[in-house]
Amino acid sequence: MKRREFLKNMIFVGAGAFILPQLWTTKAAEAAWNADGGAAANGVDPLLGIPIQETNFEFSSLQNRRTTDAIVIHHVGNTNRDVSAAEIDRWHKNNGWAGIGYHFVIRKDGTIERGRPMDMLGAHCYEHNWHTVGVNIVGEFDNHEPEPRQMDSAASLLAALCRYYGIEPDRQHIKGHREYNATACPGQNLFDRLPGLVAMTRKYY
Shorter beta-carbon distance to Zn ion: residue 25 or 188 = 188
Pairwise CA distance, residues 147 & 138, whole Å: 10
In the complex, minimum distance from the CB of residue 102 to Zn ion, in angstroms, rounded to a whole number: 9
Q: Which is nearer to Zn ion, 45 or 120 (CB)?
A: 120
Instruction: Find the part of the chain contacting Zn ion (CB under 5 A) among 61-69, 81-89, 100-108, 176-184.
Output: 176-184
Range in contact with Zn ion (rule: CB under 5 A) among 7-15, 81-89, 157-165, 175-183: 175-183
> Residues 177, 197, 198, 201: which binds Zn ion (CB under 5 A)?
177
In whole angstroms, how close is the CB of 77 to Zn ion at the nearest point?
7
CB of 93 to Zn ion, least distance (A): 18
Pick 45 or 146: Cβ nearer Zn ion = 146
Q: In angstroms, rounded to a whole number, what is the distance separating the alpha carbons of residues 72 and 102?
A: 9
x/- letters, 62..81, toward Zn ion (CB under 5 A): ------------x-------
> Contact residues for Zn ion (CB under 5 A)?
74, 177, 185
